[in-house]
Structure 1
Amino acid sequence: MTLQLGAVYHGFRLTEEKQIEEIHSLARLFYHEKSGARLLYLQNEDDNKVFSITFRTPPADSTGVAHIVEHSVLCGSRKFNMKEPFVELIKGSLNTYLNAMTFPDKTMYPVASRNDKDFHNLMDVYLDAVFFPNIYQHPEILMQEGWHYELEDRNGELTYKGVVYNEMKGAFSTPEAVLDKEIMASLFPDTTYGFESGGDPDDIPDLTQEDFLEFHRKLYHPANSYLFLYGDVDILEKLAFIDEEYLSEFSRIPVESAISLQSLFSAKAEKTAEYPVSPNEQLQDKTFLSLNFLIGKATEPDKTLAFQALEHLLLRTPAAPLKKALIDAGIGKDVLSSFSESILQPTFSIIVNGSEVEHKARFEQVIEETLKKLVAGGIDKKLIEASINLLEFKLREADFGRSPKGLVYNIKCMNSWLYDESPFLQLEYEQALEKIKTALTGNYFEQLIQERLLDNQHKTVVILQPRQGLAEQKSAEIKKRLAEHKAKLSTGEVDRIIEQTRHLKERQETPDSPETLAAIPLLRLSDIDGKAEELILSEQNEQGVKVLFHPIATNQIAYMNLYFDAAGVPQPKLAYAYLLAEILGKVSTEQYEYTELANEININTGGISYDVLAYTENDNDDVYYPKFRIKSKALVKKLPRMLEIIGGITASSEFTDKKRLKELVQQVKAALAMFLLRNAQQVAAGRVLSYFSPSAKYNEAGLLTFYEFMVDLEKNFDGKFAELSANLQSVAKLVFNKSNLLVSVTVEQDNYSRFQQAFDQLLSRLGQEQVQPRPYDFAIAALNEGLMTSGKVQYVAKGANFRKLGYDYHGSLKVLETILRYDYLWNKIRVQGGAYGAFAQFRRNGNMVLGSYRDPNLGETLKVYNQTPQYLRSFDVSEREMTKYVIGTMSQLDTPLTPPMKGDVAAECYIRNITQAMIQQERDEILSTSKAGIQKLADLIDAAMKQNYLCVLGSEEKICANKDTFKQIKNIFE
């Protein structure tokens, strides 16, 4: 379609048009003359279309107003006058992405779909939500989504409740989140970035209804908006719709939302803060030290890209000289880094975990000396080549997993567009990349280090120390503050809070009428393809090894997974298999010292990763297939080199360097501690499944059980080194054998021969033994644990295996996941309970779990789970609502997959003996799910809940208050 530059189309003037080769798109920039809205369209053939509207929303405090408005505008609007149109959309849309996101200075509302009608519906609901929300008519929306005083009777305890309030309590349960907040406050004492846009739980209750509404009134105007369209869409049709239905109702006004620059420091600043640990938790080696820099502006595309490479080469690879220097100096257990590019003035942080306050001076000294040494002597060119190659590979691969490409490009373009520069700066990376590549022959990175780090006076040192009982102290202070506040209230004011609490609960518990719900546009089941997507798989045999070949267009990239049978690893050595997966590629081999090996990997591949997991038989949890998986990718022309490198790693990794192994053990343990807190719902769910499921027990051995193993190993490292070294060598020998191997290769048909020719580079290095499977005898028992942390919220999980209770898997269980997650559990646990979310999972092998996350409750949530059968027995919805649930389920099933993801899915189905016919049967069962079919599942849920397998990870205070719920209570951190 040809459009004329300067012409006006449905109120939008086309102001710029250019081809962006890097993302294979024609970019068109429009300006809506009446309202002042900006619009960028990236035209290409991608059928996964993306729309978003973004507002510049810099906060002036830490009440979380931007975040709370983001939640709240999705709670009903002019056209869609219901409580939760966002949730109704999820239930009944074929969306491939549906979310809203608050950043430090902007709020984004993105949606994606491959279905044209659905895409239009999503745009309509989101535009109505942001421009005409119900927040002005219903103060209960702020109460529910943000915060409110809760009081049910005059003698009751006054408390805080609210979704964002509890979400942020959960967010700040990790020391990294606390550190990040303190770093931003230290670097930006005078601008918006010094505030917490998500909201600090200490400040959220300061947000008033007036300030809440004023924030929306001021900033949610088209003149402060950035609209974005991506993919294969009829742009004129979309412009007409946006203009006629929305923007034509507004006139351009000046909006004060510009973000001011932080004045640069003349000297380094220092700050000390605290994070909570349990009263019995040790304090030794639990301090974080950070050196933080403000390093320029986001509108310098070459510097933004360069710092991604610089961060990697300094701190993110085993060959990283700054990381190595800090570890060698004994300053901490692990070295982390952070480069934040999505703000006006990007920041760069060097962080040491597992340290002590007294190491601060040495920490700064080592950083300065190492950087000066690198500038004076030059950075190893091979290290530079490795880091640039990895950066370039990721840019050209453009594989963002389950995130639509358009969404990622939208975020990238906002990194300059929001600051009144061209939105194309971060999309057109070729010129910046060529500039960075001068580092291969010149001193580009050395100059960058000198200018942006060594000569930079705008830097801060932030120390984050652990403090026992801090969470309990804060909790007591909040209780005291609320009690004092209640005592000052008049009888009328107390009654008003009681009435507001009652009215909010009544609103929450009253369902929208069928007529109201009908306003949400709905697709027909006939809009859905009844045929399941084919598993792309051709079974081959190469030199006696089974190869699963997935002929898919991959843009000259080869994706290869190696599945080594791990059943020969004896049960007592399972933890060493998990540890082996953590350290491979980070220890030396017979050919390369570990830093050299890291460079070889990054120069010749797009990455190699290792993990251990058990795949269950499709319908029998007692039958499972332990695999040691190596995932790798490289340009097709570099396949031989990648296979040679993997061959060397599997055949000759050395486990005798005591110093290196101790460093890795400390790093793995420190990283695991952070993972457990960040993924607490996964930990709780995995733990409860391990009480009754052998395969889940195997997989849980890589979570909390593995962490406990690593704690002991680190504590007793010297005494256990010989055993550690021998066991790693033994496990590697048992696993890496030709007889154990199944290969999965995803590449174009024409390039498969390149793999065949190179395969011997790996096979010649593998062992030839026939390894016999070892029996595993896990102690399966209902431990029903309360896993205590210093956090302030809970992750509550309850599960069972329904096949062992006599029930079969049926596709309607996937629909039940949708119903529970977005109706019953959403209303009971999120809306009424104040948790951030809840979920349900049902697997073919019979394992099921109900879970909540960032949940202020415990016993109440378990009660909700136990009452699920009653909800299902009385489940009564219209045919339209039932259709909505089915469509929403299909959207999850039909999420677009990248080429490597398609290969992974086909390989997993092969391993688990899931056939195309089974996949089609599940799809047919989902599409035919009825109200009666859902009601019949009540007995399955009832039987599962009566097994009473439960696990809660959460605050020590809440778990101890409910100690009778558990058989065991323990702190997960020592």
Structure 2
Amino acid sequence: LLGDITDSFEGFTLSLLSSLLVSGPNSPFYKALIEFQIGTDFAPVVGYDGSTREACFSVGLQGIAEQDIQTVKQIIVKIIDETIKNGFEEERIEALLHKIEIQQKHQSTNFGLALASFISTTWNHDGDPVEVLQINEKVTWFRKCLKENPHFLQEKVKQYFKENQHQLALSMSPDEAYFANQAKIEKEKLQQKTSSLSEEEKLNIVKKGLELMTAQRTLEDVSCLPALKVSDIQPMFTFTPVEMEYVAGEVPVQYCAQPTNGVVYFRAFTNLNTLPEDLKLYVPLFCNVITRMGCGVLDYRQQAQRIELKTGGMSASPQVLQDNTNLDMYEQGVMFTSLCLDRNLSDMMQLWADIFNNNQFAFCSPRFDDEEYLRVLVTMAAQELSNGIPDSGHLYASVQASKTLTPAGNLAEMFDGISQVKHLKRIAEMPDIVKVLRKLPRIKMHLLSSDNMRCAVNATPLLIPEVAKEVEKFIRTVPGLATKKKDKKLLRSNIRERPLNPEETGDEPGSKAIKNLVFDPSFKACQMKTHFQFPFPVNYVSECIRTVPYVNQDFASLHVLARLLTAKFLHREIREKGGAYGGGATLNYSGVFSFYSYRDPNSLETLVAFKKSVDWAKAGKFTQDDIDEAKLSVFSSVDVPIAPSDKGLNRFMFSISDEMKQIHREQLFAVTSNNLIEVANKYLTTGQRTCGVAILGPENEYIARDPSWVQR
């Protein structure tokens, strides 16, 4: 237990101290607990928590053996003693202060909400909200304290973590009979409550239930409420100018001049078309570790320190980008992303250059030879994915349900679905991961090449020329420029070239920027129902239907229909009547129409509700006001503010131009009641559609008896 959060400078200091203790591979608790491999990852709640009147700090592990609990306690005490004695490296403190500076300059679309959340706790406890916001003053005062007293932080560690008697050690162990005991207790409680009810009380409960049902079926009169109208929406949206240049005549670089507040945002996309099929399952792991295992002359700790000191983060993520004209074509690749203050631009690009360099000597390339640290990263990644399933179960269900509907969906499930969770778990349990380690350089050889790369930069207008020089310098260090296009050998013959610039047809003189899309003419969409059994008390349900690509006129009608079904039917049936936390329908760039429910006590009943919603739409049981509300809901996402860092991103990734967005906008305005009924009949009706279904949840005896379901 720490101090009162109304002392804002003390809270600021303790928050910094917490980060120094637990954040990143250079922190003492990471070295002692995570790398010691006594557990799988930090406990779910670690570090400083200022959400209550008296703040607290916690540190611990999950996935440890019961006999190791005392060992963990001893390690924690030892690390606190060593920190009091040795303190922290000055460079680590500077890296943390740099992180604060870049966080202040980085602009997000939820800035106001984040600001309100940041000050609310202190304000609620009669603290000064203005004082909380004075970050620069606190940094200045913090530096002054360190200068006047080099042992300032060590004294804080001693005060709060060594001499503080307000400490609690908590251990939690699984109970194999938990669910059986829970069901037994619930049954006993229910029996106890019902047996104590009189006949009159029972009749009263039934009466209230009937009254609730009547209220749920009664249409509310909302005419007295203030409301926006579709006519209030601007018919045109503001276009974002971008410039495309070609480095060394080959690599396209998109420049987007934006008021980024002195921060440079860099992205590079490289495709996976030459990657052998047996390596694709390992791409997410590659992305997870490529910026974390050390590179060049830097080991993984030095690299992490350098990244924190010179950038706002460097990351890689697998991408499956659906073509906007054909659901059987997609682009596969990896997106590399980073940001930095303008003064650190050269250092950030050098960090990327070291990673992309394909030289076989250790001092010029990523260090894929550290078996022990790879195991640490894999174990942590597997644990984080497993922990995330209860919060994102509906997304996993949707990914699984859409797996058999498009070629892109199949690869997306491999990268982001339950298959990847199980794959990482298997690797984490392997006694020897040398074979896995050897796959990473092979992936790098195919992936990190300028032959299949394009880049995007968002920066202030005055900085663009300097950024262009640094980006060109980086690209010229990346291997692959010597390879001529005619000499490239794609492992897959089913590649279709499309212009990166959506305004080009590909036949114009000077057309250079090309995307290589995967096209599988043999792919046939098929229906599949899958049930994944998890020890959850609730279900995550999804039904996905293949529809049309983004440029199809029906896409706009389906977009509006998804919002209409969510607000006017599914919310009432799934949440209000069914008791789920949430549910609805969505349509995204993939062209897959998805029904879903979240933390749902029902499963098959929810699938019936999905079907009933389609029947409701086909019957046209909605008003013009309902349609207008759905359009307003759609435009709330279409017109959502875009941060300067993300301007032009849809064009860069999906080749969706501002002109295409404007056409889609006009199509949304033009959607009518007849359009909604037509697309419901055309795409969502049983017999006219190809759909997939997935449920994540507890054992279900009805599904178990149904041979049409695949049990996992």
Alignment TM-score > 0.5, same fold: yes
User: What do the CA deviations read for 1:287-324 (whole angstroms, capped 9, x no partner)?
Assistant: xxxxxxx1111112223223333333322212222111
Q: Does residue 473 of structure 1 match 2:216? A: no
Conservation of the 8 A alpha-carbon contact between 1:571 and 1:774: no
User: Which residue of the partner structure matches residue 102 of structure 2?
Assistant: 393
Match of 2:18 in 1: 311
> Residues 349-360 of structure 1 correspond to what in structure 2 (within 5 A)?
349-360=58-69
- Larger displacement relative to structure 2 (463-472 or 919-928): 463-472
Alignment of 1:215-364 (within 5 A): 294-336=1-43, 337-364=46-73
Amino acid in structure 1 at the alignment position of 2:392: N
Give the structure 2 partner of residue 527 of structure 1: 232
Pick which of 783-792 and 482-491 moved more: 482-491
Distance 1:870 1:785, change over 3 A: same
Q: Judging changes above 3 Å, is the alpha-carbon distance between structure 1 residues 540 and 943 closer, same or farther for their aligned structure 2 residues?
A: farther
C-alpha deviation, 1:688, in angstroms: 0.6
Distance in 2, matches of 1:482 and 1:605, equals 57
Instruction: Look up the equivalent residue of 2:653 and give its one-letter code.
Output: E
Distance 1:467 1:828, change over 3 A: same
* 1:222-252 deviation line (CA, Å, top 9, x unaligned): xxxxxxxxxxxxxxxxxxxxxxxxxxxxxxx
The residue identity in structure 1 corresponding to 2:244 is E
Distance 1:573 1:615 in 2: 19
The answer to whether residue 598 in structure 2 is matched with residue 853 in structure 1 is yes
Distance 2:580 2:117 in 1: 28
| Distance change >3 Å, CA 357–CA 438, structure 1 → 2 | farther
CA contact (8 A) 2:293 2:373 kept: yes
Is residue 953 from structure 1 mapped to residue 659 from structure 2 by the alignment? Answer: no
Quick one: which of 580, 600, 604 aligns to 2:286? 580
Cα deviation, 1:491-535, whole Å, max 9, x if unaligned, reads: 2222222221111111111212xxx21112122333211013324
**Aligned-partner SS, 2:444:** helix
Distance in 2 separating the partners of 1:687 and 1:469: 30
CA–CA distance in structure 2, aligned partners of residues 433 and 745 of structure 1:
30
Q: Deviations along 1:748-788, whole A, 9 cap, x unmatched? A: 12111111221245224422175644338889754421111
Equivalent residue, structure 1, for 2:436: 724
Secondary structure of residue in 2 paired with 1:841: strand
Contact 2:289 2:377 (C-alpha < 8 Å) held by counterparts: yes
Give the direction of change, closer, same or farther, for the CA distance of 1:588–1:325 in structure 2 (3 Å limit). same
Q: Distance between the aligned counterparts of 1:438 and 1:717, measured in 2? A: 50
Contact 2:35 2:373 in 1 (8 A): no
- Contact 1:384–1:439 under 8 Å retained in 2: no
Task: Indicate if the aligned counterparts of 1:522 and 1:884 stay in contact, CA closer than 8 A.
Answer: no
CA spacing shift, 1:524–1:639, aligned 2, 3 Å: same
What is the letter of the counterpart of residue 197 of structure 2? L
Find the aligned partners of 1:352 and 1:541 in 2 and give their Cα distance.
49
User: Of 655, 658, 661, which aligns to 2:374?
Assistant: 661
Q: Does 1:539 align with 2:539?
A: no
TM-aligned CA deviation for residue 946 of structure 1? 5.4
Q: 2:323·2:654 contact (CA, 8 Å) conserved in 1?
A: no
Residue 831 (structure 1) aligned to one of 566, 576, 579: 576
Is this contact kept in 2: 1:508–1:827, CA < 8 A? yes
Note closer, same or farther for the CA distance 1:668–1:628 as it changes in structure 2 (3 Å cut): same
For residues 304-703 of structure 1, the aligned pairs below 5 Å read 304-336=11-43, 337-397=46-106, 399-400=107-108, 402-403=109-110, 405-438=111-144, 442-512=150-220, 516-543=221-248, 544-651=250-357, 652-702=365-415, 703=417
Relative distance call for 1:946 and 1:325 in structure 2 (3 A) is same
Q: Secondary structure at the match of 1:668?
A: helix
Shift of 1:561: 0.8
**Cα distance in 2 between the residues matched to 1:717 and 1:530:** 61
CA contact (8 A) 1:537 1:551 kept: yes
User: How far apart are residue 536 of structure 1 and its match?
Assistant: 3.4
The aligned amino acid for 1:369 is K
Of 491, 496, 499, the residue aligned with 1:774 is 491
Residue 759 of structure 1 corresponds to: 471
Structure 2 gap ranges (5+): 358-364, 493-517
Alpha-carbon distance in 1 for matches of 2:489, 2:184:
58
1:920 aligns with 662
| Residue of structure 1 in register with 2:540 after alignment | 795
Letter in 2 for 1:879: Q
Distance 1:350 1:948 in 2: 46
CA–CA distance in structure 2, aligned partners of residues 879 and 593 of structure 1? 63
Paired position in structure 1 for 2:429: 715
- Find the aligned partners of 1:320 and 1:774 in 2 and give their Cα distance: 43
Give the secondary structure class of the aligned counterpart of 1:942. coil
Give the Cα–Cα distance (whole angstroms) in 2 for the partners of residues 390 and 378 of structure 1.
20
Change beyond 3 A, Cα 1:332–1:826: same
Amino acid at match of 1:302: F
**Is the CA contact 1:683–1:704 (under 8 Å) kept in the aligned structure 2?**
yes
1:79-228 matches, within 5 Å, as none
Taking structure 2 as the reference length, the TM-score comes to 0.89
Q: Is the 8 Å Cα contact of residues 690 and 697 (structure 1) preserved in structure 2?
A: yes
Amino acid at match of 2:440: L
Equivalent of residue 929 in structure 1, options 659, 671, 695? 671
Matched position secondary structure for 1:835: coil
Q: CA deviation at 1:605?
A: 0.6
> What is the distance in 1 between the residues matched to 2:526 and 2:378?
30
* Equivalent in the alignment of 1:250: none
Of Structure 1 and Structure 2, the greater strand share is in: 1
User: 2:376, 2:336 → 1: CA distance?
Assistant: 23
CA contact (8 A) 2:554 2:679 kept: no
Change (3 A) 1:883 1:968: closer
Q: Which amino acid aligns with 1:385?
A: E
- Tell me how far apart the structure 2 counterparts of residues 942 and 359 of structure 1 sit (CA, whole Å): 57
Q: Decide whether the 8 Å contact of 1:621 with 1:847 is kept in 2.
A: no
Aligned residues of 2:105 and 2:263 also touching (Cα < 8 A): no
Amino acid at match of 1:500: K
| Shift of residue 945, structure 1, vs aligned partner | 8.1
Equivalent residue pairs, number: 664
Query: Judging changes above 3 Å, is the alpha-carbon distance between structure 1 residues 960 and 454 closer, same or farther for their aligned structure 2 residues?
Result: farther
What 5-or-longer segments of structure 1 have no aligned partner?
1-293
Q: Which residue of 1 aligns with 2:445?
A: 733
CA contact (8 A) 1:784 1:966 kept: no
Given the superposition, is the C-alpha separation of residues 481 and 436 from structure 1 closer, same or farther in structure 2, using an over 3 Å criterion?
A: same
8 Å CA contact 1:545–1:742 kept in 2: the answer is yes
Q: 1:830 to 1:966 in 2, by over 3 A?
A: farther
Deviation at 1:868, TM superposition (A): 2.1
1:393 offset after TM fit, Å?
Answer: 1.4
CA distance in 2, matches of 1:675, 1:841: 21
Residue 318 of structure 1 aligns to a residue in which SS?
Answer: coil
1:843 is the counterpart of 2:592: no
Counterpart of 2:491 in structure 1: which amino acid?
R
* TM-score using structure 1 length: 0.65
Could you tell me which amino acid in structure 2 is paired with residue 533 of structure 1?
A: T
How large is the RMSD of aligned CA atoms in angstroms?
Answer: 2.3
Q: Does residue 879 in structure 1 map to residue 633 in structure 2?
A: no
Q: What are the superposed Cα offsets for residues 235-277 of structure 1, whole Å, 9 maximum, x if unpaired?
A: xxxxxxxxxxxxxxxxxxxxxxxxxxxxxxxxxxxxxxxxxxx
Letter in 2 for 1:767: P
